[in-house]
Structure 1
Amino acid sequence: MEREKIRELLKSKLNENLYKHSLAVESVMREIAKLFNEDEEKFGIAGLVHDIDLDTTKDKPHLHSIVGSEYLKSLGFDEDIVLAVKKHNPIHGLKRETLLEKALYAADPLTGLITACALVKGKKLENVDEEFVLKRFKEKRFAEGANREQIESCKEFGLSLEQFVELGLRAMKGINKDLGL
């Protein structure tokens, strides 16, 4: 399925904030793919569709990513994307083996942390720098939903926390207009 059709599908399935979150994760995944000379389109699509079921499973977190991965499989998405989506929800405790799986797992909460930083800095990503994100990362009560352990799992694919934050911030700043930040 091509990107524009996926975007239309997501707009019909997700609220506006989740849709923007999906765009943010897509941008970070594309940057990771570039860095590691991987398939940018595949990584981007995995980021784009990772929460496709979240509006319907929000009250049943144990079903999130299971329902989504099954739905994506029924639509004919590549098995590696389906598995990455399934494994990105930490509640399932599924082992992540590929770079795609590890990257999606780490990128998901990073975008939430960066978005929260932008919201307190005038709702503008241009006002956020790496140092500010790293400072807020240490504040456990700030953006509590952004799982720090998940973000730090970037080390499993060879990036320091500082490198990962810089990559994520650069990616999201590149699509700031789409994110409304």
Structure 2
Amino acid sequence: MLREEAMALLRHYLHTENLINHCLAVEAIMRGLARKLGEDEETYALAGLLHDIDYEFTVEDLEAHSLKGAEILEEHGLPADIVYAVKVHNEAHGLERKTMMDKALFAADPVSGFITAAALVRPDKSLAGVELKSLKKRFKEKAFARGASRENMAVCAELGLELEEFLTIALQSMKTIAADIGLQG
């Protein structure tokens, strides 16, 4: 599936701009992780872009979240590795993260929200001034971006990445699309 087709599919199921921006952020992070890990950027990016395709109609039933998304992706002919990565990014199902892509998506999902929160508390609401130093400090603050699971982000270690390197990749990746996700200031 080409990105344009994936974007049209995403917009068919998601209508909330913040949720679409989240998917774009995870797509960018996944692309950055694929580049670092020597994996296929387009495959990783598609998994990131489409990972929450079912969120608007499963938000009240998180047990169904990602299972419905995986069904949608399967129906549209996406490869089994992307379908599985989307399915296992929701830890509620207790499925094993088998591949590097599974682990990358599991860690990328919460870090996008964490970095977005770091930008939104800035006076300019921009990623431009967000630095690794402040992310590392905020990471230790349990009350900051409470919904961004530190444990899930820590799965970056299973990719062979230290937290600092993972945060750097995620931040730099998101900065490249800051204007597209409303975080340019």
Q: TM-score normalised by the shorter chain: which range applies?
A: over 0.9
Residue of structure 1 equivalent to 2:94: 93
Partner of 1:17: 18
Q: Could you tell me which of 150, 153, 156 is aligned with 2:152? A: 150
Ranges of 4+ aligned residues in structure 1 off by more than 4 Å = none
TM-score by length of 1: 0.98
**Number of corresponding residues:** 181
The whole-number CA distance in structure 2 between the counterparts of 1:158 and 1:118 is 27
Query: Which position in structure 2 is the counterpart of 1:34?
Result: 35
User: Sequence identity, in percent?
Assistant: 50
How far apart in 1 are the matches of 2:159 and 2:4? 29
1:77: how far off? 0.3
The equivalent residue for 2:8 is: 8
Per-residue CA deviation, residues 90-138 of structure 1 (Å, 9 max, x unaligned), is 1111110100000000000000000000000121000100111111111
Q: 1:84 aligns to what SS in structure 2?
A: helix
Please list the CA deviations of residues 50-86 of structure 1 after superposition, one character each: whole Å capped at 9, or x if unmatched: 0000001000000000000011001100000000000
1:39 CA drift (Å): 0.6
Residue of structure 2 in register with 1:72 after alignment: 73
Q: What residue ranges of structure 2 are gaps of 5+ in the alignment?
A: none
The structure with the greater share of residues assigned to helix is 1
Deviations 1:131-154 (Å, cap 9, x if unpaired)?
A: 111111111111111011000110
> How far off is 1:37 after superposition?
1.2
Q: Which runs of 5+ in 1 are unaligned?
A: none
Aligned-pair Cα RMSD in Å: 0.7
